[in-house]
Structure 1
Amino acid sequence: MATQDIMNILVGTVTGSQADLENARNFLAKAAEQNLPELLKQFSDILITATNNPLARTQAALQLKNALYSKEENLKQVYQERWLSIPEDTRAHIKNNCFNTLGTETAKPSQAAQCVGYIACAELPRGQWQDLIKRLVDNVTTVGRADNVREASLEALGYICQDIDSNVLVPQSNVILTALVYGMRKEETNDNVRLAATTAMLNSLEFTKNNFQNDSERHYIMQVVCEATQVANIKIQVAAIQNLVKIVTLYYDYMEYYMGPALFAITMDAMKSNHDEIALQGIEFWSNVCDEEYELQILQQEAQEQNRQPERTSRYYARGALQYLVPVLLQRLTMQEESDDEDDWNPFKAAGVCLMLLANCAEDAIIPHVLPFITANINHADWKYREAAVMAFGSMLEGPDAASIKPIVEQAIPFLLQLLRDSNIAVRDTTAWTIGRIFKFVTQAVLTDGLIGEIGKTLVNGLNDVPRVATNICWSFSSLASAAYEHAESLDDEDDTPKTYLLSPFFDDIVKKLIETTDRPDGNQSNLRNAAYEALMEMIRYSPKDCYVTVQKTTLTIVDRLNRVISIESHATNSNDRVQISDLQSLLCATLQSVLRKMHGNDAPLISDPIMEALLSMLKSNTGKSSAVQEDALIAIGTLVEVLGLNFMKYMDYVLPFVYEALNNHTEYQICAAAVGIITELSRSLLDKLIPYCDQIMTHLFTCLSDDKLHRSVKTQILSTFGDIASAIGGHFKNYLEHVLNTLNQACRAQVANNDYDMIDYLNELREGCLSAYTGIIQGLRGSTTTANSVVLAELQLVTAQLPFIMQFLETIARDTNKSDSLISAAIGLIGDLVTTYGQVMLQFVEREAFEKLLTEGKRSKVVKNKTLATWAIKEIRKLRNN
């Protein structure tokens, strides 16, 4: 198609009517399908021609960029592979056009820079376009280059640094830093160039570790960044302080040299700035220092407990600067405006968060710095100071020792209850939040018969307040419910569920008021409806025995509401109504799970029919529509299986078709995962009664595993579910054993890169799934051998053949420094099961250094389960040795 025609279509995507827009989109999509390389080539030709319509050039770059990049990781990889499959000469043509466009565009930021960046992200990791970085750097550092070219080249470097795996750029870090520092120097006269360099520097910090380890290079980088914080241009100042925020997190250990002479003064001035963007970065700097130092304090405590020196130590910058930091933060708390949007991030909120982090770091030391401010301003005539005092009080509750803060809280409660009736909404809102934090962190100050009644009554009345205040009161009830329950548990050791607790006298009133709150016409504001349902769930979840009648009534109320919502669903005419109905169904399903878990075993079957009917209706009406509703309904069914046990059998024929349909839904993997969850619960509840359904269930699960497109998290869940099925059906699992063992054999061999934390987490989950499967198989087959079943004994022998491989897998886990606590637990549990099942044959395997270290690690663990399992496994091994 002629270039001019394509340009007209590109302009039509912005300036035309809705019909023109649709036609243009359809045309471009069809052209991409027919010959994507040629289309991208034409886009690049439009982009390179400076005399073309600027709007057409911008849209050409946008279309080119969209063909190269997606925010979805899976799609991004598909796009990159597709790009690399384009003939090399065509790619070279497009790359040259994009590169040569740098500096020729009238609009900012440069679209061509983004195109160059995304092409680089596809090609550089695969060793292609190797001269790109040098050419971009030359554009920046060559004397006489136009400022527009230098700016766009720096932007391209910034996009590359931002989106590429940082390891790819490590070999070229010196070259890239040369360009960035050159553009950031105080001698640079063009602010746009300096801003582009400072922004690119922010994106490059991850891969400059080697440069920060070198004193002279680090000094120079810190010098140019600190100098950039002093310029008049606000955008450059903000970007420069953002660099400092990131540097203090990445390179905390090197900051002592700079903290006193430079960083302290720069960030203190920033915190006091009249420009919110600068103030936010100054506060963020100290928040990051607190985060880092709190983490270092924890590591130091662990090292002390283990009688060793910590690898890194805190310099206690935050604690040392308390006397300077706290007054500035408190001053920022008084600078809020009534017009502030509650959802906007501003210096007032940032100061509150920073104060919380400081309290965590400084512990008791923060109290004398904050308390005088609270005392002076809690009754101030100006609402800003009253709110600041309450915010300061709420922010310092976590960190100080409970014994130190308790008397202060006891004195403050009457003032806070009074402020819940303050004339100013912001004061009431912050007060409700603060009361919730008291329930969470200083519960012993309020859990007395005398106080709790007055607090409960005031909070119930507060649920009538405007949505933003009522939302925080709901959150307060959530915190209060768990605190009161834990307090009752500590007094009542006889049973799992306490007989009564301090909220029992007004439990019914609170629940009624929360249910009423979920029905408020303004419930969709400030997330109120969600908060009220969540509070209701927590109240039910943490209810003692003497509140059971209310739990029963609430169950019936929720089922009734669910049926009402289902009945109006078909009459919803617009998309907004349908979204609200879906959200409400999800909330009701979640609440239903809470009440079902509190139902007595003999009561649940009496009301399970209407519950099941409602959940099946939801599944029917939402097939092909709301995936969230289907997922929530399936999860609720899983809870019903758990509660009913064998009584669930009568629903199997009605439920399984929906479970199979969900297992086939590999696109919306959360639905598939919820169905796998039901299979797990069915295995645990029905045991050998599941046998008639197992062939179909296993067929569906194997189909899931064979689909490369199914999300990996579901596959790890399925492996674990194999263990549950095997444990439930015992010897009957022989029909599937060989296929399952082959699958596990493959899964156990998986490896990931040591520096990819997401993949390390996934590997831990995958390995845990494998261990759960092996454990379930061995326990299931071993349980069946009590009947002297020779077939089952033969199946155990089939597992015996796998023992060397299983033990090698366990040894790999034992030696892995990145293993999680739950993986340690699963590994030790399997070792114990293998020892008790196979006896003396196991000694040749378990008497290895790696296993001895693993069991010792489990025995010393702070996790009770790990400690218990390790003690048991060691005893079983000792028995073998003694025999």
Structure 2
Amino acid sequence: MAWQPSPESLQTLIGCLKDSHNGFDKAAQKQAEIMLSQAKASPDFNNYLAFIFSSPAPPAGITLTANDYNMVRMAAGIMMKNTVKNSYKQTPDATIALIKAAVLLGLRDESHPVRNYAGNIATEIIRRGGIYAWPELLNELLNMIGNADGHTAPATQEAAMSAMAKICEDNAKLLDREHNGQRPLNILLPKLIEATASQLPKVRAQALTALNEFIPRKSQAMLANVDALLNQLFTLATDPTNDVRREVCRAFVLLVETRADKLTPHIAGLVDYIISQQQNEDDEDLACQAVEFWLSAGEHEDFWKNIGPYVTKIVPSLLEGMVYSGEDIALYGSASDDDEEDDQDEDIKPRFATRKLKRNANGSTNPSDDPSQNGGAGNNYEKLSGMDEDDLEDGEIEDDIDLDGDDDGLYDDGGDSSWNVRKGSAAALDVLARDFGDDMFECIMPYLTVNLKHADWPQRESAVLSLGAVADGCITAVTPHLPNLVPYLVTLLDDPEPLVRQITCWTLARYSSWAIELTDPAQVATYFVPMMEGFLTKMLDKNKKVQEAAASAMATLEEKAGKKLEPYAGPIIKQYIKCFEKYKDRNMYILYDCVQTLAEAIGPVLALPALSGELIPALFKRYDSVPDQSRELFPLLECFSYVAMSLGSVFAPYAQPVFRRCVNIIHQNLEQSLAAASNTHLDNPDKDFLVTSLDLISAIIQALAGEKASMLVTDTQPAFFELLSFCLEDPTDEVRQSAYAVLGDCAKFVFPQLQPCLDTILPILLKQLDMDNILDEEIDSGFSVINNACWSVGEIAIRHGKGMAPYTEELMKHCVEIITNPRVPHGVNENAAIALGRLGLASAEALGPHLHTFAEEFLISMDDIDPTEEKATALRGFTLVVAQNPQAMEKVLLHYFRTIATYEDINLRSPIKQELHDAFQNIILVYRQMIPQLDTFLAQLSAEEQAALKSQYRI
């Protein structure tokens, strides 16, 4: 018999659900919440919720108004969705079946909120259980969308299509995966294309939204249906509904990236169409999506050439889109001086530099942008500092032309950090300028001539923006004009309109390389110094947005100028100290970036007493005022990381309180994580606190090294390595990434303190090197963690020696899996190879029998690694392994001798240099005895390689 509710229990539950949303009677609301909390313990609780949600009218005996009953149904739906979200696997199958039935009824309900929430619950079931947890749902939705029974209400078609779009968004990969000999996408795609012809605008738009999830995937289904999709796109291009045309534009953008060949025959019409859509003043989102087309076209390897004949049409439309609209002028123009006003909470967007601090073998630091390429010799590990709040949206381009006010070279539309037509147009102009080069400058030259000195500031401002946008692509054409342009732009730093001052900072920064490269002292004094002084002066502008833009420009100048700033370090730091005294919270974040970029640029010069003696007290004054719970700690601690690395041992007097605070922050964060794991009512702590604290600890250990670093670690024993062990197992990739960087540093600089804890830490490290989970993921963020884990293995192995014996075989297995897997990024491969070679230093006998499984891949990895201490020790360990099993090298012996012949000692100290030379010499003698005709064999090497062997190893 089917489940039936008890009338009494049903009546009680409906009353509780009603009272739980009664904002006028707090006592009744509180009592209802208590009763609902108790009712959740009943095994039938969710059955009752499903019954209420799917019943369009109150059960017999219950008198409620339509509004009150709808509120009760929505409350039931919310609780049902939370059950699916939080307890899907623990919920009985019979209850899940009732929830599914309620969802299908809800999609056909007359109430819009109920239909909407039914779709949300359906997508949540699929999200938690997978497509095949409810295989019949897709057919049910398709029947509703297509009005298969001829009686499906338009509202139900729309609700079903909305649910389908969400399912496609969440399950695009799974829908294209074969199951029982079929791929759901093969059936689904034609149906979605058919749905784009619906009479209902919402269905058409959502069908396109769903289809756009599959265009980038280059699936067999899309290959088979792309022509039908393209025909439908051309039909819908003139659709009267903006939402539909927006998705049409998005589809064209995605097709450029995946099937540009299909668009090429229609390029003339496409150009006109996209221009018409980007000029839509009534729908900013539609216009933005249209502008994305130029970005996509310009970034495509070949497609951009097709739009060459139409550049004279495209560029004016982009220039037009870059002028502030009347509405924007009303919102942002002629802003008053606000430097004394406190920032509002909503104005302070947590942000800090996303450069990764990496250390070379010689202890210097380098920024890095590509986590997949970090690691290997000279780039030992990656620290992740400054995790962004949001991923880049489609069309946003990082570093190249950043108009969001979030990173280097920033510009912010008067406080609006959202992507818009103005920013998209500027970004597109930048990309096209890189494609078409100096010809692009010729296109905008008439516009610049008219508008750079225009009396109306919006035109003047837009011209400055366009000049900055083409800086990279048109530098050759612009350079002859810079002796006139740069001084004029410097005068615009004092323009009465703040928005002009802002964009001028950004544009000047884009051309700062030209001024930096000047060598004539007179030219330096005429162009470079006024530019730098202009930025520094505007950092104390009366308008906070100008301060921010100037600080960003100064950070860009520092990054490009490097050591050329050393003569100006004193005045720069004095200005920064004034900024520390004046800045409100928001601009303090970018000031940290200026300080850390300066530290990176001038390095040890910052340690001079005249400089560090002024800067450090100013930093600590702010440091002491920021509480442990503040998100401002992220950029502040990252700034300290760079400063500590630059100061080296000079940072020692300041290190202990900073180090202890980082350890305390880690401790607090881990305790909060444990509490949240056992109590679902508690929020999980922000893991950025862990990441930045670990990164600063790493920097301090590097900076101090030796005895002073050991004292810091000892001072926090045993808590330090216990806490680090927890971080090594944290579920967040970024935390583990930084934790393994700290582990490698500890092995390198404070090994005596680390060694007693290795029996606890090494088993954790072994689990991290298992790539099975990473290779199953669509996103390869875990490779950065493995990168650092491999590096730390090598650093531990070279010092722990025979102590590695219990772990050697399993470590070898994981390292071999890494270096033999083609999906592994190059840098990770190199670090794994170095770790494997270093294992051989004390465990050659254990590795010898397995040499044939990794010799070739090891040598290939070594080929691209620059000569460093790491490479030398790895090659020596590998050579010791070869000596244990020289016969295993038969297939790669020539490669091995080439590696020996081409190895160069660069700045290597003894005994490492001598030890490697002796190892090579000994293995050559081994092969001399094994191969009577060794000279004939080595004749296959090049003349230079043979000469190197003869001169260095007496062959």
Contact 2:713 2:753 survives alignment (8 Å): no
Q: 2:550 aligns with which of 470, 473, 478?
A: 473
Q: 1:146 aligns with which of 142, 146, 153?
A: 153
Q: Which amino acid letter does the alignment assign opposite residue 619 of structure 1?
A: V
Distance 2:152 2:634 in 1: 59
Tell me if 1:420 matches 2:493. yes
Q: 2:711 aligns with which of 621, 631, 650?
A: 650
Tell me if 1:685 matches 2:746. no
Q: 1:281 aligns with which of 289, 312, 319?
A: 289
Contact 1:181 1:224 survives alignment (8 Å): yes
- What is the CA-CA distance between 1:323 and the residue it aligns to? 1.0
Distance 2:603 2:23 in 1: 64
Q: 1:512 aligns with which of 574, 577, 601?
A: 574
Tell me if 1:66 matches 2:82. yes
Distance 1:419 1:12, change over 3 A: farther
SS at match of 1:428: helix
**Structure 1 gaps, min length 5:** 70-78, 297-312, 486-497, 573-577, 755-759, 782-794, 860-871
> What pairs with 1:778-789 in structure 2 (closer than 5 Å)?
778-779=840-841, 781=842
Distance 1:828 1:735, change over 3 A: closer
- For normalisation by structure 1, the TM-score amounts to 0.77
Distance 2:53 2:868 in 1: 58
Tell me if 1:135 matches 2:140. yes
Contact 1:589 1:632 survives alignment (8 Å): yes
- What is the CA-CA distance between 1:741 and the residue it aligns to? 3.0
Contact 2:721 2:754 survives alignment (8 Å): no
Tell me if 1:726 matches 2:797. yes
Q: Which amino acid letter does the alignment assign opposite residue 387 of structure 1?
A: E
Distance 1:19 1:705, change over 3 A: farther
Instruction: Find the counterpart in structure 1 of residue 445 from structure 2.
Output: 371
Distance 2:191 2:174 in 1: 19
SS at match of 2:430: helix
> What pairs with 1:771-782 in structure 2 (closer than 5 Å)?
771-779=833-841, 781=842
Instruction: Find the counterpart in structure 2 of residue 168 from structure 1.
Output: 175
Distance 2:713 2:539 in 1: 42
- The structure whose RCO (Cα within 8 Å, separation 6+) is larger is 2
- What is the CA-CA distance between 1:654 and the residue it aligns to? 0.5
Distance 2:494 2:309 in 1: 38
Deviations 1:17-51 (A, max 9, x none): 7787777667666655x46x744433322221122
Q: Which amino acid letter does the alignment assign opposite residue 51 of structure 2?
A: D
**Structure 2 gaps, min length 5:** 1-5, 59-68, 178-182, 333-414, 670-685, 775-780, 903-916, 928-933, 939-954
Distance 1:562 1:22 in 2: 48
Distance 1:213 1:701 in 2: 48
> What pairs with 1:370-769 in structure 2 (closer than 5 Å)?
370-400=444-474, 402-440=475-513, 443-444=516-517, 448-465=524-541, 466-485=543-562, 501=564, 503-522=565-584, 524-525=585-586, 528-543=587-602, 548=606, 551-557=608-614, 559-561=616-618, 564=621, 579-580=629-630, 583=632, 585-599=633-647, 604=649, 608-617=652-661, 619-620=663-664, 623-624=667-668, 628-629=688-689, 631-648=691-708, 649-665=710-726, 666-667=729-730, 673-686=737-750, 690-691=751-752, 693-703=754-764, 714=785, 717-727=788-798, 729=799, 732-746=800-814, 748-749=816-817, 760=823
Distance 1:29 1:557 in 2: 58
SS at match of 2:417: coil
**How many equivalent pairs are there?**
766
Deviations 1:627-682 (A, max 9, x none): 64554344333223222232323334204434224224344755665454333223
Contact 1:151 1:193 survives alignment (8 Å): yes
Instruction: Find the counterpart in structure 2 of residue 193 from structure 1.
Output: 203
Distance 1:521 1:735 in 2: 53
Contact 1:184 1:198 survives alignment (8 Å): yes
Q: When you count helix as a share of all residues, which structure comes out higher?
A: 1
- What is the CA-CA distance between 1:459 and the residue it aligns to? 1.9
Contact 1:139 1:150 survives alignment (8 Å): yes
- What is the CA-CA distance between 1:373 and the residue it aligns to? 0.9
Distance 1:537 1:83 in 2: 47
Distance 1:854 1:408 in 2: 55
Q: Which amino acid letter does the alignment assign opposite residue 757 of structure 2?
A: Q
Distance 2:127 2:606 in 1: 59
Distance 1:630 1:376, change over 3 A: same
- What is the CA-CA distance between 1:106 and the residue it aligns to? 2.0
Distance 1:469 1:747, change over 3 A: same
Instruction: Find the counterpart in structure 2 of residue 868 from structure 1.
Output: none
Q: Which amino acid letter does the alignment assign opposite residue 467 of structure 1?
A: K
- What is the CA-CA distance between 1:68 and the residue it aligns to? 3.6
Distance 1:469 1:21 in 2: 50
> In percent, how many aligned pairs have the same letter?
17
Q: Which amino acid letter does the alignment assign opposite residue 434 of structure 2?
A: N
Distance 1:107 1:849, change over 3 A: farther
Contact 2:490 2:531 survives alignment (8 Å): yes
- For normalisation by structure 2, the TM-score amounts to 0.71
Tell me if 1:272 matches 2:279. yes
SS at match of 2:455: coil
Instruction: Find the counterpart in structure 1 of residue 189 from structure 2.
Output: 177
Contact 2:495 2:501 survives alignment (8 Å): yes
Contact 1:267 1:282 survives alignment (8 Å): yes
- What is the CA-CA distance between 1:389 and the residue it aligns to? 0.2
Deviations 1:836-862 (A, max 9, x none): 334466665455489969999xx9xxx
Q: Which amino acid letter does the alignment assign opposite residue 78 of structure 2?
A: L
Deviations 1:293-350 (A, max 9, x none): xxx2xxxxxxxxxxxxxxxx54613433311110000011124322154323221111
Distance 1:850 1:103 in 2: 72
Distance 1:676 1:110, change over 3 A: same
Distance 1:173 1:592, change over 3 A: closer
Q: Which amino acid letter does the alignment assign opposite residue 111 of structure 1?
A: Y
Distance 1:266 1:855, change over 3 A: farther
Distance 1:7 1:613, change over 3 A: same
> What pairs with 1:29-68 in structure 2 (closer than 5 Å)?
34=41, 38-51=44-57, 53-68=69-84
Deviations 1:520-563 (A, max 9, x none): 242x23xx111112112212221277x556x5345345553565
Distance 1:715 1:351, change over 3 A: closer
Tell me if 1:352 matches 2:352. no
Contact 2:195 2:203 survives alignment (8 Å): yes
Distance 1:441 1:163 in 2: 47
Distance 2:36 2:856 in 1: 54
